[in-house]
Amino acid sequence: MALKQIYMVDTKNQYLKIKDEIDSAIKNVIDSSLFIQGPAVKEFENNVQNYLGAKHAIGCASGTDALQIAMMAANIKPGDEIITTPFTFVATTETIALLGAAPVYVDINPDTFNIDTSKIEEKITPKTKAIIPVHLYGQPCDMDQIMEISQKYNLYVIEDAAQAMGSLYKGQKVCTIGDMGCISYYPSKNLGAFGDAGMITTNNDELAEKIRMITAHGSKRKYYHEILGINSRLDSIQAALLNVKLKYLDSYSDARFDAAMKYNEKFKNYFKTPYILPDVKHIFHQYSIRVKNRDKMIEFLKQNGIPSMIYYPVPLHLQKAYKYSYKQGDFPVSEEIANDIISLPMHTELDNEQIDYISSKVIEFNNMK
């Protein structure tokens, strides 16, 4: 059989396997005309609560909004400092900046690519209000360390779990460890909608009430606005199809993990394969390795029909919009990894033949003189 076309992420074939179920869930919403805060939204929120073991799960319009809403609920104000990683998607920093607060970066651990918890404490000042750990590529951060520091200094912990819904830290789902968790259902995420969608989780009743109000223009009762809010709702159609896909999330995570283990087996004599912390479940939102001549490798793979991506080519402290007083050399681990990291095709539909082919081409390039 000929090799099937290789995609970075294959949401189309994933959909086709459960097409009837998804289509009927979408049709139900259309038939009901309950597009805004219809019953599908509540149902999905309840199902996510059960899935994660979180007391509250509140839908919103995107993962980016989830971060902003969580920080608004934590009362983040201009001048506050938020500790986070420079090696992540821009949304984490963007939302801090939108609230007038300052991102205070801590370099990453070269094995996990997550915030280096041994360097957090030295960055804490009287202005520090929160830590935002990002569970990058689907691997949990070292949450014990982060929670210990946050308790010592009385800081909020807002988990950016946009890439990690379903991953476990010491048996506990990420999103339920800090004060709040932020999830993205962007189509290519492990649980992907057919458009933008997001969610904030918390075990704290007061925060939950505030979060819900913020998503609804700062109101509990329509047209009575008690606090500053925004308009950020989880769309009913998205909720309905996410409800269907949530049932398959663990099997999706397992399929990604299996694909990662197959890559590992192929690469073990050539590359440092992704490190996995003891006592975690890594769900491999991305499979990323560090390579020589990265940009030439990308070209070579492309010529051979293999897509790849760089997550992320420029650490946030070197982005034009977010430079503050940072400069090249401030976070050397992030800078080095941004120069040689590559993410290979990773999704639920990869077959053995594709993994064999992709890994053989990666190794072939690596071995070229």
Ligand X SMILES: *Cc1c(COP(=O)(O)O)cnc(C)c1O
CB 250 → ligand X: shortest distance, Å?
20
For ligand X, the binding residues (CB under 6 A) are: 62-64, 88-89, 91-92, 134, 160, 162-163, 184, 186, 196, 198
Q: Are strands 219-221 and 198-202 parallel, antiparallel or unpaired?
A: unpaired
CB-wise, 67 or 289, nearer to ligand X? 67
CB 256 → ligand X: shortest distance, Å?
15
Contact (Cβ atoms closer than 8 angstroms) between residue 40 and residue 182:
no
Residue 223 one-letter amino acid: Y
CB 98 → ligand X: shortest distance, Å?
13
CB-wise, 91 or 120, nearer to ligand X? 91
DSSP letter for each residue of 51-96: HHT-SEEEEES-HHHHHHHHHHHTT--TT-EEEE-SSS-THHHHHH
CB 16 → ligand X: shortest distance, Å?
24
Nearest residue to 76 via CA among 98, 58, 92, 91:
98
CB 330 → ligand X: shortest distance, Å?
20
Element spanning 159, H or E: strand 156-160
CB-wise, 26 or 67, nearer to ligand X? 67
CB-wise, 83 or 362, nearer to ligand X? 83
DSSP code at position 4: P
Residue 2 one-letter amino acid: A
CB 170 → ligand X: shortest distance, Å?
21
CB-wise, 196 or 235, nearer to ligand X? 196
CB-wise, 136 or 318, nearer to ligand X? 136
What is the Cα 87 distance to its own chain's centre? Answer: 12
First to last CA, the chain: 32
